[in-house]
Chain A
Amino acid sequence: ETGVTQTPRHLVMGMTNKKSLKCEQHLGHNAMYWYKQSAKKPLELMFVYNFKEQTENNSVPSRFSPECPNSSHLFLHLHTLQPEDSALYLCASSQETYQETQYFGPGTRLLVL
């Protein structure tokens, strides 16, 4: 089974919609991450969770709301997004947070109209 899965793979939403991205890891890891990848920009770390606790919020606007109910699942709730939020959102996991290799999912390609 694929290590890190993400659903949906593609999402189109209007600025007034509310949607959620889901990530699930099957690797027995304890840390999970959300990244944003925009065209022609480096990957941007958004949030880090370790043992279900948020340990990093990289100054992300409140219209992005993460949720980590357990070490295997991570959600990103989206509301009132802007067109500039259109990007590839990648989830990753690692055994622990300290210098461990991160394994990535396939991403959700989001388009905000």
Chain B
Amino acid sequence: AQKVTQAQTEISVVEKEDVTLDCVYETRDTTYYLFWYKQPPSGELVFLIRRNSFDEQNEISGRYSWNFQKSTSSFNFTITASQVVDSAVYFCALSELGGATNKLIFGTGTLLAVQP
């Protein structure tokens, strides 16, 4: 069965520290997508990145970077030089091939608190 595990429930860092959020997934599909979303206190889930299973290149977008390793079924997310505005819950998700429906399997989220 598909599953996403975010073992870190809460992380607290001081501004300007780097922080890595872990995501480990399980799937029997050979083709799948992985996602990261950010949920600030306002509640809206903000899409950050989508990665397909055939593209293992790491990606960098400003202070954000993602490390996809199929061999360890991990899709980790690093924020460099964290800022207070990065404080949010971050969700990793896996797209499941359930017929014609795009089912997203979410992890339980990691609450990141960035202290000034």
Contact = CB atoms under 8 A, between A and B. Distances in A.
Interface of A: 31, 40-43, 45, 48, 50, 55-56, 88, 90, 92, 94, 96-107, 109
Contact of B101 (A42, A48, A88): A48
Interface in B39-63: 42-47, 50
Nearest to A105: B44
Interface string B69-102: 0000000000000000000000100010100111
B102 A102 contact: yes
Contacts, number: 58
B50 to A, nearest CB: 5
Nearest to B32: A99
A104 B101 contact: no
A88 B43 contact: yes
Given A42-B107, A43-B106, A103 B47 contact: yes
Contacts of A88: 43
B37 interface: yes
Interface of B: 32-33, 35, 37, 42-47, 50, 91, 95, 97, 100-109
Contacts of B107: 42
Closest 10 CB pairs of A and B: A104-B45, A106-B44, A107-B43, A97-B102, A43-B106, A42-B106, A99-B95, A56-B101, A101-B50, A99-B33
7 contacts: A43-B91, A43-B104, A50-B100, A56-B103, A94-B102, A99-B32, A101-B35
Given A99-B95, A101-B35, A45 B103 contact: yes
